Structure 1
Amino acid sequence: MNLIDGVQALKSPWMIAVWPGMGNVGLTAGYYLMAKLGMELLSEYSPPELFDIDYVEVERGVIHTGARPRSRFFLWKDPEEQHDLVVLIGEAQPQFGKYSYCKKMISYAQDLGIKRVFTFAAMATGMHPEHESRVFAAVTDQEDLKEMRVNNLEILQEGNISGLNGILLGAAADKGLSGTCLLGEMPHIFSQLPFPKASLAVLKAFRLISGIEIETSELVEQAQTMEKKLGELLSQVEKSMGEKAEQSESFEESLQPEVPEQPKLTPGEEQRIEQLFEEAKQNRSKAYVLKQELDRLEVFADYEDRFLDLFKNRG
């Protein structure tokens, strides 16, 4: 791994890991936490032997080799000296060698002195989009289980946690590290759409556990906006199904969003993006406003590397 030189010993550090998944619940929570705490890039681990190239890019008719997914670590030093945080944001999960990948992540975490590992993920249920999202917890030891109950979190009694959200915690437990998965509840019928309300619930749960203050007003606003949109969509679909009851199309199939055309930015939108990048350079806590705008315009993938460069160490 490309560890940045000069990193001092961390104070009782915890690690949080997120990857793309249902509703982008974990990824949204991770990005929000990173932006609001003004974290700095710590290191990167993107093993070519585990991540293959899945596509090529075409620009003005010319093909270029696609980039491999990246896994980057960001650091926040706790001014209260309770728990420094390391956030791992992965662009994708490896198609094979998942446990090997996780063992390397945990080995690196141990080098940093990390004793506790969290993953943020989604739990799809039959909830209505207007209801509050619950947070389900699964842990690696009995003491952490007691802590989850004290904080009134739902306990995942049985089942499985797919992908790295679970495997990383298994690898952590094998090395004697404490592991916790926080799963934000979201409607299964909207599993292919962003659901920031679940991300907000996960961050609130993490705030209870860690005692770290996380200002969430922007995520609250985003969750309210999405709730309204999903409520309107649900009403439209229910009405449509009532009028066309004879059709055999399932309810879930009718909710699948249409594939949007490739977005094209107007000069005004490009200017707005540049303005937000400049503001985020001056104050990292404003970076999530920039991410919201990039997500709204559906161009975050085009700006992702530049966005994450905002969090490089300025020293």
Structure 2
Amino acid sequence: MDWWRLQDSSMHDSITLYDRPELRHPRMLLAWPDPGHVGLRVVDYLRKKLRARGFAKIRPYDFSVAPWVSVKDGLMDRLEFMKNEFYYWKDAKGSSDLILFRSEYPAVNIYEYVCLVLDVASEFGVKRLYTASSFGAAGITHREEPVVLGVGNRVGLKATMEKYGIKPYPEYKGVGNIQSAFLWLAKKRDIEALSLWSPVPYYIARLPFPWSNYPKCSLAMLQKLV
């Protein structure tokens, strides 16, 4: 079995699949927490607008270190590990359905986590996926219109970026992130992947949530996707 692939012929045990929809040429959109709450807002808008249905989760225990807890009146009444869920939407008027994935960041075993998400993508025939995110950037202000930057894992995606007004991400060499892992490992599975970024003004990105909310970037990214 290849090191970038956790499954052979059946879904991995770490994935809880509670529905198996028949999807046509689905595309996939993924998001995690980011400065400005940009990516998750895009996914949540589509999820609610399209009434997408949940169908799978990754069992979180291998990817969490410190759980989220709730305490009231001296009693712990809630404990949650890494929250995540897959959703699907069937396009009755088109030929391509949609899978949405929203998740908290894994604290450990990042590459295993990425492989599990790609297992779901492969299982349902995804041939292109997108990640949606943001970062805090100096030199821009809230008075400017947001831009959307893109990084692809195939040369052919540069034409897609040009067509939809997505600017190629400037040259970078340094520490990567989970989006980098998705681009690289998706390529090994013959899946096109495009990582989208819409930078948020640094002075807003550094604020604690919810004051760091920046829906302008979410709208800019949504317009590119739809």
TM-score, normalized by the shorter chain, greater than 0.5: yes
Which secondary structure does the structure 1 equivalent of 2:70 belong to?
Answer: strand
Q: Which residue of 1 aligns with 2:91?
A: 78
The farther-off stretch of 145-154 and 17-26 is: 145-154
In the TM superposition, what is the alpha-carbon distance from 1:118 to its structure 2 partner? Answer: 0.5
SS at 1:189 equivalent: helix
The DSSP-based 3-state class of the residue aligned with 2:16 is: coil
SS of 2:122's equivalent in the other structure is: helix
Stretches of structure 2 lacking an aligned partner (at least 5 in a row): 1-14
Find the counterpart in structure 1 of residue 218 from structure 2.
Answer: 199
TM-score after normalising by structure 1: 0.62
The equivalent of 2:11 in structure 1 is none
Q: Equivalences for 1:40-79 in 2 at 5 Å?
A: 40-64=53-77, 66-79=79-92
Alpha carbon RMSD of aligned pairs, Å? 1.7
Mapping of residues 282-297 of structure 1, within 5 Å:
none
Matched, 1:173 2:192: no
Q: Which residue of 2 aligns with 1:88?
A: 101
Q: Secondary structure at the match of 1:170?
A: helix
Aligned to 2:156: 143
Are 1:7 and 2:21 matched, yes or no? yes
C-alpha contact (below 8 Å) 2:133/2:198 kept by paired residues: yes
How do 1:146-157 and structure 2 match up within 5 A? Answer: 146-157=159-170
- Return the match for 1:164 from 178, 184, 188: 178
SS of residue matched to 1:95? coil
Task: Establish whether residue 103 from structure 1 lines up as the match of residue 122 from structure 2.
Answer: no
Q: Where does 1:291-306 land on structure 2 (aligned, <5 Å)?
A: none
In 2, the alpha carbon distance for the partners of 1:176 and 1:190 equals 38
Q: Secondary structure at the match of 2:37?
A: helix
Percentage identity across aligned positions?
23
Matched, 1:189 2:203: yes
The amino acid of 2:184's aligned partner reads: G
Partner of 2:133: 121
Aligned residues: 205
SS of equivalent residue, structure 1 residue 2: strand
**Residue pairs, 1:16-35, within 5 angstroms:** 16-35=29-48
From the superposition, tell whether residues 70 and 93 of structure 1 become closer, same or farther in structure 2 (CA, over 3 Å): same
1:81, 1:151 → 2: CA distance?
20
Higher helix share: 1
Q: CA deviation at 1:6?
A: 4.9
User: Conserved in 2, the CA contact under 8 Å of 1:16 and 1:86?
Assistant: yes
Contact 1:74/1:88, CA 8 A, preserved across alignment? yes
Structure 1 residues 61, 109: closer, same or farther in 2, change over 3 A?
A: same
Q: Distance in 2 between the 1:33 and 1:143 partners?
A: 26
Counterpart CA distance in 1 for 2:30 and 2:101 is 5
The superposition leaves residues 47-93 of structure 1 with CA deviations (integer Å, 9 ceiling, x where unpaired) of 31112333542111113562102210011101223220000010x11
Shift of 1:169: 2.1
Counterpart for residue 10 of structure 2: none
CA distance in 2 between counterparts of 1:11 and 1:65 reads 38
Q: Would you identify which runs of 4 or more consecutive aligned residues in structure 1 move more than 4 Å?
A: none
